[in-house]
Amino acid sequence: MTGPSERTVTFVTGNAHKLAEAAALLSPCGITVRQADLGYPEVQADSLEEVALAGIAWCMEKLKKPCLLEDAGLFIKALGGFPGPYSRYVHETIGNAGIMRLMEGAQDRSAVFRSVIAYHDGTEPHLFIGETLGHISTRLEGTRGFGYDPLFVPTGYDLTFGQMEQQEKNAVSHRGMSLRAFVSFLSERRC
Ligand code: IMP
């Protein structure tokens, strides 16, 4: 699918922070982001890719037009990749304080934040992946952003995502990366 309709993208999300991050990155590329807060079901699966693909199939069925969603997860090495695809549930239950408790005494604090964008073009789904390496901070720091932002420090920085301006976070974040891959895909398709 090509043409002007690709200039407006429907982002299925109820998360205002994700929406703002996407708009900040996509608007300068001439792509308007429109929110659809559908509350799609997140299936219980072992990978973000599976969750995203199931979600976008459901959204496409509902909306009957091209749309995009994003599923993210924090994978902590010392915890065997936990919470990974269960990041939302874990955040809603034990929260950041619970993660800090689980990490008490851990020598290796390395972690990866992953983002999977699923975009359905009306014919088929496409996935775009972003990954940011980093570590779990020893203290919760920063009041910006959302979710696990106060405990994730991207490699090469002394700041948590929660201490970064939105633009700075977008430049290094998992979501920034998957969104840029999505922008490249759209621009290649227009050629
Ligand atoms: P979901 O992609 O909305 O399912 O996110 C899973 C969990 O990770 C939720 O608890 C989110 O708050 C959290 N999360 C997703 N993206 C980010 C991020 O960029 N920074 C911090 N937490 C995030």
Report which protein residue has its CA nearest ligand 1's atom 10.
88
Distance 2 CA to ligand 1 centre (A): 31
pLDDT in tens, the chain (191 residues): 444 445 899 999 999 999 999 999 999 999 999 999 998 888 889 999 999 999 999 999 999 999 999 999 999 999 999 999 999 999 999 999 999 999 999 999 999 999 999 999 999 999 999 999 999 999 999 999 999 999 999 999 999 999 999 999 999 999 999 999 999 999 888 75
- Specify the CATH number for 7-189; select among 3.90.950.10, 3.40.710.10, 3.90.550.10, 2.40.37.20: 3.90.950.10
CA distances to 6, 96, 117, 180 from 3, in Å: 6, 43, 21, 19
User: What's the pLDDT at 1?
Assistant: 45
d(CA 81, CA 66): 32
Judge contact between 125 and 133, C-beta under 8 A: no
Q: Rounded to 10 degrees, what is the CA torsion of 151, 153, 179, 55? A: -30
DSSP for residue 151:
G
User: Is 71 known to be catalytic?
Assistant: yes
Judge contact between 153 and 169, C-beta under 8 A: no
Distance 114 CA to ligand 1 centre (A): 9
Contacts of 33 (CB under 8 A, 6+ apart): 8, 9, 11, 19, 22, 23, 26, 27
Among candidate residues 71, 108, 149, 158, the one labeled active-site is 71
DSSP for residue 83:
B
Q: Reduce the secondary structure of 121-143 to three states and give it as a string.
A: CCCCEEEEEEEEEEEECCCCCCC
d(CA 116, CA 131): 9
d(CA 48, CA 170): 20
CA distances to 37, 89, 186 from 67, in Å: 12, 24, 13
Judge contact between 66 and 12, C-beta under 8 A: no
